[in-house]
Structure 1
Amino acid sequence: MHDEANIGDATGAVIVKAKPERKVFRPIKTISRVPDELMNDVELNAALKILPSNYNFEVHKTIWRIRQNKCKRVALQMPEGLLMFSITLCDIIEKFTDADTVIMGDVTYGACCVDDFTAKALGADLLVHYGHSCLIPIDRTSGITVLYIFVDIKIDPLHFIETVKANFPNTTKLGFVSTIQFVTTLQTSANELRKDGYSINIPQSRPLSPGEILGCTAPTIVDVDCLLYLGDGRFHLEAAMIANPEMKYYRYDPYAKELTQEM
């Protein structure tokens, strides 16, 4: 009897089965963390004071990515509500990198509207897409690197939490949804409310973040009494209303600090 590595033929000769050489490929090490030297750059941090402090444009990460990739032209794409900050962002990027910038002025309709074709036609080697999550995978773009900046917006979570407490008893089963700008506040607020006995359901439609909804995408939510949307406007909320037609809906406007029932 021969072992598994040895096989006998008709002549009785023993043929030794060759074992393939196992090759181990180690992942290429890349530095993804922004260096402290850049994070603590006095001149850069002074320039960032022009931008609103509660808007996280992740400028340090953007500059680090541009330097790493040695980009020569960077295209900036953002929704209309953020275009007012585009000139400032361009000035900062051009001052602290060797790249020039292009502001893409066409209307951005949402997370599905990554204009990689135009950016490439403009000669850009990096497209920075602001205000939306990574709905389009970065390996599905037309030969151009895409950097997603969510633009997390800090708001007063305490007022939101106290508003929920004042309007809903802790026996109410609540569903929380929002846009990408406020999902961090949504999670923080939900954790605090759970400490007071609230049942909070934060649904997820992959590949979106937990609690995030789009104007075209919202999950079906079960086992909740009502749905509370954190955000301004009704556009995104209406997607959740269509997906959950038999539910009560409320909207908390983080700018006006008002809670309204939506029909």
Structure 2
Amino acid sequence: MHEIPYEEILDNLRALNAQRVLIQSPEGLRREAEEIARFLEEKSIDVILHGEINYGACDPADREAKLLGCDALIHLGHSYMRLNLEVPTIFVPAFAQVEVIPALEKNLEEIRKLGKKIALVTTAQHIHRLDEARGFLERKGFEVLVGRGDSRVSWPGQVLGCNFSSAKVNADGVLFIGSGYFHPLGVALATRKPTLAINPYSGDAIWMTEEAERLVRKRWAQVAKAIDARSFGVIVSTKKGQLRLAEARRVVGLLREHGKRAELIAMNHISYGKLEGFSFDAYVVVACPRVPIDDYENWRKPILTPREVELLLGLREDYVFDEITGTDRDFDEPMGVSVHGPKAGL
């Protein structure tokens, strides 16, 4: 279950004088989206549910909302991200209703293996429990650091699937609170420090060191497969929060400087099936780093990140996880607000 601030959502819509709204949600929050719709329709607001897959705050359906004649977009399940949106957008994080202290208590001895000074991070779903977790750990004798992160994250201590800046503090190790595999794996790769992931739902604790090493070996294998590639399709995303056109052009320039043929390809939903007609020997995804890491087995040709291109060309020696940072693009006149948490401004 998740906390949904119905009245706060309604107050924001009334402040916008919104009569019709589009509700966008990830697959795991579709029931909550239906409940919001029923609540708002009782308040005489016209509601449309967005049925496409949603990949995060980087993937708002503001264009669709405008096309459908909506006055606002409700983006459910993710925290505010500063983007230039086409309609006013209300970001609703949907905090998980699960306690974190029991899982920390259960795994206290594992946490001690991180060292005395630990960085504490989590996702938007559990960010409201971070102060509580910090207090518990400090009472147990730890020095707990909660990094601010860059402008891409909404709260100190929050990590995204593409941004781990809040974990990059001077700590002995990193403690991640949350479910799932990709976020703590990204933390381990981005910080190169011992990382322990504790799942507040199951109470399980997983060390990410071996998982990170296993992933790096797989990524090096992709780089090796691309050694003989002479042509590259460099994919740039049209999703507003993943648009890294300057970085994509930089990658094209690097490849061409090293005698490779490289062309830009613009896509929204990135999948190999859509690219079958092209003749490129390999591809570079300059968008969400989860695409080349999660989906590489579905690609018949090598698929790299920008940092892996640098490895391929001999421009770096150590593996570096690709991240989207708050300085990757410029933002003008953001039209978003966060609810049920620190306001991020209209």
TM-score bracket for the superposition, by shorter chain length: 0.7 to 0.9
**Aligned residue for 1:161?**
104
When Rg is computed on C-alpha atoms for both structures, the one with the higher figure is: 1
**Aligned residue for 1:110?**
56
Give the whole-Å Cα distance in 1 for the aligned partners of 2:128 and 2:26: 20
Give the whole-Å Cα distance in 1 for the aligned partners of 2:107 and 2:129: 14
Structure 1: unaligned runs, 5 residues or longer: 1-51
Of 120, 134, 138, which residue of structure 2 is paired with 1:176? Answer: 120
Matched, 1:254 2:200: yes
Give the whole-Å Cα distance in 1 for the aligned partners of 2:27 and 2:202: 20
Of 150, 173, 176, which residue of structure 2 is paired with 1:226? Answer: 173
Of 38, 41, 60, which residue of structure 2 is paired with 1:94? Answer: 41
Structure 1 residues 1-263: aligned runs within 5 Å? 52=1, 55-95=2-42, 97-137=43-83, 140-142=84-86, 144-169=87-112, 172-207=116-151, 208=153, 209-219=155-165, 221-245=168-192, 247-262=193-208, 263=210
Q: 1:230 offset after TM fit, Å? A: 0.8
Decide whether the 8 Å contact of 1:215 with 1:238 is kept in 2: no
Q: 1:164 offset after TM fit, Å? A: 4.4
Structure 1, residues 80-134: CA drift from partner, whole Å, max 9, x if none? 1111322222111101x22111111111111211121111101110101111111
Q: 1:184 offset after TM fit, Å? A: 1.7
Structure 1, residues 37-94: CA drift from partner, whole Å, max 9, x if none? xxxxxxxxxxxxxxx4xx2211111122223333221110111111132222211110
Structure 1, residues 147-188: CA drift from partner, whole Å, max 9, x if none? 111111232233033134333349522111110111121221
Letter in 2 for 1:68: A
**Aligned residue for 1:4?**
none
Greater CA drift, 169-178 or 66-75: 169-178
Decide whether the 8 Å contact of 2:26 with 2:76 is kept in 1: yes
Decide whether the 8 Å contact of 2:178 with 2:197 is kept in 1: yes
How many aligned positions are there? Answer: 205
TM-score, normalised with respect to structure 1: 0.72
Decide whether the 8 Å contact of 2:147 with 2:169 is kept in 1: no
**Which secondary structure does the structure 1 equivalent of 2:73 belong to?**
strand
Give the aligned CA root-mean-square deviation in angstroms.
1.8
TM-score, normalised with respect to structure 2: 0.56
Decide whether the 8 Å contact of 1:71 with 1:98 is kept in 2: no
Decide whether the 8 Å contact of 1:163 with 1:259 is kept in 2: no
Letter in 2 for 1:119: A
Give the whole-Å Cα distance in 2 for the aligned partners of 1:158 and 1:214: 22
Give the whole-Å Cα distance in 2 for the aligned partners of 1:158 and 1:222: 23
Distance 1:255 1:157, change over 3 A: closer
Greater CA drift, 62-71 or 110-119: 62-71
Structure 2: unaligned runs, 5 residues or longer: 211-346
The ranges of structure 1 where at least 4 consecutive aligned residues each deviate by more than 6 angstroms after the TM superposition are none
Structure 1, residues 196-227: CA drift from partner, whole Å, max 9, x if none? 32111112222311111111111252432221
**Which secondary structure does the structure 2 equivalent of 1:102 belong to?**
strand
Letter in 1 for 2:140: D
Decide whether the 8 Å contact of 1:114 with 1:136 is kept in 2: no
Give the whole-Å Cα distance in 2 for the aligned partners of 1:75 and 1:162: 41
Identity %, equivalent residues: 24
Decide whether the 8 Å contact of 1:215 with 1:237 is kept in 2: no
Letter in 1 for 2:52: D
